[in-house]
Amino acid sequence: MIYYATSILLILIGMYAVLVKKNLIKIVIGLSIVDNGIHLLLIAIGYVKDGTAPIFSKPGLQASQMVDPVPQALVLTAIVIGLAVTAVALSLIIRLYDHHKTLNINKIRKLKW
């Protein structure tokens, strides 16, 4: 239960940063926090009480006593996608800074909302 609460809190904190913060890099930080929250949520969904990691590394491990591997596989993919989006976002920020010499969203005409 605590995992669910933590992950939702993380998502909300990240979203708050995206919605309220004026600094471009802060907004991207917010996005990555949201991503982290969802990853935690997914892993928590797959957790099995007293389960073991889904690797048959030694004999005698029971499949029924293992945590669900699917969310883990999804999170692996999602982490890489998050990195890709962050990289593109940051490169855009470098471009924007080059043009505007500021990271403040209010001083960049089109980004006001």
Partner 1 sequence: MRKVIAILLLFIIGYYSLDVLLKIPFGESAGGVGKHYLESTIKETGAVNSVTAIVVSYRGFDTLGEVTVLFLAATGLGAILYDKKAKKRALQNASVIVKTSSKIIYPLIALLGAYVFVHGHLTPGGGFQGGAIIATGVLLMFISYRSFETNHKALSIIESLAGMTFVTIGFAGLIYGTSFLQNILPFGIPGELFSAGIIPLIYIAVGFKVGAELTALLDNLLKTIK
Partner 2 sequence: MNWLTIVVVILSIVLIIAAVFAVYQKDLLLAVIGTSAVSVVLSVLFYILQAPDVALTEAAIGVALTTIIFVITIKKTKRFEE
Partner 3 sequence: MSPVHFIAIPLFAAFLIPLAGKVSKELVKIIPGLVLLYLSFVSVTLFPIGTHHPVVEIIAGFKPPFGITLYYGAIAAFLTTLITLIGFVIWLYSYKFIIREPIEKYYMLFMMLITGSTGIVLTGDIFNLFVFFEITSIAAYSLTAFLRDRDGAEAAFKYLLIGSFASTFFLLAIAIIYANVHTLNLADIAVKIQDVPVTTRLFVLILFLIGLGIESEMFPLNGWAPDAYSQAPSPVGAVFGGIVVKAAVYSLMRIIFLMFNSHDVLHFLLVMGIITMLIAEMSAMKQQQIKRMLAFSSIGQMGLVIIAFGIGTEPSVRAAMFQMFNHALIKSLLFFSAGYLVFHSGSKKISALDGLGHDKPITSFFFAFGALAIIGLPPFSGFWSKLYILLSIADAGLMVPVVLILISSIIEAVYYLRVVSRLYFYKEEATDVRRTPVSGLIAMGILTVVILLVGFYPNLILNWMTPAAADLLNKASYIKFGLF
Residues found near partner 3 in the complex (CB under 8 A): 11, 18, 24, 27, 31, 34-35, 38, 41-42, 45, 68, 70-71, 74, 77-78, 81, 84-85, 88-89, 92-93, 95-96, 99-100, 108-111, 113
Q: Residue 41: which of 69, 1, 73 has the closest Cα?
A: 1
Q: Rule CB under 8 A: is residue 4 a binding residue for partner 2?
A: no
The mark string for 34-73 relative to partner 2 (x by CB under 8 A, - otherwise) is: --x--xx--xx-xxx--xxxxx----------xx----x-
- CA 22 centroid distance within chain: 20
- In angstroms, what is the minimal distance from the CB of 104 to partner 1? 15
Choices 26-34, 48-56, 102-110 (CB under 8 A): range interacting with partner 1:
48-56
Can you tell me the distance from the alpha carbon of 6 to that of 12, in angstroms, rounded to the nearest whole number? 10
Query: What are the C-alpha distances in Å from 21 to residues 14, 32, 90, 112?
Result: 10, 14, 16, 12
60 binding partner (options partner 1, partner 3, partner 2, none; Cβ < 5 to 8 Å by kind): none
Which helix H or strand E contains 14, and what residues bound it?
helix 2-20
Nearer to partner 1, 65 or 104 (CB): 65
DSSP bridge partners of 66:
52
